Structure 1
Amino acid sequence: MRVLPCGSDAVLVEVDTADQVQQLHGALRTAPPTGVTELVPAARTVLVRYDPRVTDPHRLRAALAALPHTAAARTAVLAGDEPDAVRVPVRYDGPDLAEVAARAGLTERQVIERHTAAHYRVAFCGFAPGFAYLTGLDPQLRLPRRSEPRTRVPAGSVAVADEYTGIYPSPSPGGWHLLGSTALTLWDPATDPPTRLRPGTAVRFVEVSESAGSGA
């Protein structure tokens, strides 16, 4: 773990893996050091903003070093089976489902079963407003992004790329592999907060038939 200064009121904590980001972010959310005002997780970093009237980088660095980084903490962070986990109904009829199955050496049914069996958690948000990067993807479903991105991916598309699962919140270009789609609204600028999938949120995918999709 590297702690780097970032302006006059923040430090940037660098770690090696997405799992370590989840551990660190979870520990900081559970027991924030004195003076911490905001946490911004990313792929391999967590930006920690603080009130310079209350603390300073030296005390913050010591507090970060004292955080628990244990197997138990990792299990708690990645479990994903909390009662308030967001359940996302998915129709697994995506245009890339067959290709993902072939490249993974699985049947389409096995891809669906593996995708729905996993416990996911929002690692960070980016790319577009409301686009959440979910960790927890089965290793056999981890494929590089498409060599030729699509110019338009429909809103609600459920996709995988690298070590992440994502849901496109609005129509946009995209290079992820599309497994299916959901009718669940996950991003609405008119609500507060506008997204259901904030960093740290647990997520489960549930297979549904076309008639069972819901926009609620």
Structure 2
Amino acid sequence: MTGAAAMRPRVLPVGRHALLVEVAGSEEAQVFHAELLRRRAAGALPPIREIVPAARTVLLDGVGDPHALAARIAEWTVPPADAAEGEPVVLPVRYDGADLAEVAALWGVAEEEVPRLHASMSFRVAFCGFAPGFGYLTGAPEHLHVPRRATPRTAVPAGSVGLAGPYTGVYPSSSPGGWQLIGRTDVRLWDPAREPAALLAPGTRVRFEEIA
């Protein structure tokens, strides 16, 4: 892996048969996760049971010889993600969320500008967590990051589109949550009868489309 802004990862042992790879941020974690999957598919890695990305780390679980693999990985470099890679999943959104006015105030724009700005961004699933099918999407510029709500809601409807810190996310099912809600989509993010059950996997590009 090469690139002008490349960096070397930090590799840490986790128990007897796992490694934790630390990188600078979510973009690097996404690229590193994709590279691991590519090398495993090409037969260039020893057997690994699971590869699990997170915000700034990638966990390799079920590694037969973690010390040997750690030495190899420590020599890799991680370039920035290619924003044009892959076709995006398009999620139609009604921008009528309960926190739309608050987000507009935080962004310093008129309320009707929030849908246009949000739908103009290109997102990528950095990692999944919190609930089955919930992807943490990166892509918002730093000046549009917003804080979580001071008091979480006891129930957020399925399909709600929310913002928290640097992330955008879509609630796959009704659950408590403290993200700033700006809209909702009817697309089903998690369906156990579907293969794969999760619509959004790490590395997937996502674009939101405003609907009336």
* TM-score (norm: length of structure 2): 0.87
Matched residue count: 200
Checking the alignment, whether the CA contact within 8 Å between 1:27 and 1:67 is kept in structure 2 is no
Choose the corresponding residue for 1:7, options 8, 15, 25: 15
Mapped partners of 2:141, 2:113: distance in 1: 11
Matched residue type, 1:82: G
Mapped partners of 1:75, 1:8: distance in 2: 31
Mapped partners of 1:66, 1:136: distance in 2: 28
Mapped partners of 1:4, 1:201: distance in 2: 27
Shift of 1:138: 2.9
Mapped partners of 1:199, 1:65: distance in 2: 22
Structure 1: which 5+ residue stretches go unaligned?
210-216
Checking the alignment, whether the CA contact within 8 Å between 1:157 and 1:178 is kept in structure 2 is yes
Runs of 4+ residues over 3 Å off in structure 1: none
Structure 2: which 5+ residue stretches go unaligned?
1-8
Shift of 1:21: 1.2
Mapped partners of 1:197, 1:40: distance in 2: 14
Checking the alignment, whether the CA contact within 8 Å between 2:54 and 2:128 is kept in structure 1 is yes
How far does the alpha carbon of each residue in 1:161-186 deviate from its partner, in whole angstroms, 9 at most, with x for none? 00100000001110000010000111
* TM-score (norm: length of structure 1): 0.86
Shift of 1:81: 5.8
Matched residue type, 2:45: T
Mapped partners of 1:179, 1:114: distance in 2: 12
Matched residue type, 2:104: A
The 3 A distance-change label for structure 1 pair 36 and 110 is farther
Checking the alignment, whether the CA contact within 8 Å between 2:39 and 2:45 is kept in structure 1 is no
Shift of 1:15: 2.3
Mapped partners of 1:12, 1:68: distance in 2: 16
What does 1:131-146 align with in structure 2 at a 5 Å threshold? 131-146=134-149
Checking the alignment, whether the CA contact within 8 Å between 1:36 and 1:48 is kept in structure 2 is no
* Bigger helix share: 1
The 3 A distance-change label for structure 1 pair 122 and 23 is same
The 3 A distance-change label for structure 1 pair 75 and 14 is closer
Matched residue type, 1:57: P
Checking the alignment, whether the CA contact within 8 Å between 2:98 and 2:181 is kept in structure 1 is yes
Residue 51 (structure 2) aligns with: 39
SS at match of 1:134: strand
Mapped partners of 1:3, 1:81: distance in 2: 26
Shift of 1:157: 0.1
Identity of counterpart residues, as a percentage? Answer: 52
SS at match of 1:34: coil
Residue 120 (structure 1) aligns with: 123
Checking the alignment, whether the CA contact within 8 Å between 2:93 and 2:184 is kept in structure 1 is yes
Residue 6 (structure 2) aligns with: none
